[in-house]
Amino acid sequence: MKEKLIRILTEVCPGVDFAAETALIDDGILESLDIVAIVTELREAFDADIGVDDLLPENFNSADAMLALIERRQG
């Protein structure tokens, strides 16, 4: 699942090392447009009900955090 996530993230934001970065929001690597694009893709690819309330830095700072969010919002 993580590999699929990294693949999707890299497609949306090429050039970002999603496997290693742990402060994607705090360091300003991802911007609002990236976040919306990522959420749109994750909703579709993982059937995850991610909403505006989930748009917190701690949920998007790393691929692991996004993975945890997806798991919480699936089903």
- Kindly list the residues in this chain that would bind other proteins in the complex (CB under 8 A): 31-33, 35-37, 39-40, 43, 50-53, 55-56
Three-class SS of the chain: CHHHHHHHHHHHCCCCCCCCCCCCCCCCCCCHHHHHHHHHHHHHHHCECCCHHHCCHHHHCCHHHHHHHHHHHEC
Of 27 and 31, CB closest to other proteins? 31
Least distance between other proteins and beta carbon 66 (Å): 15
Least distance between other proteins and beta carbon 7 (Å): 16
Least distance between other proteins and beta carbon 38 (Å): 11
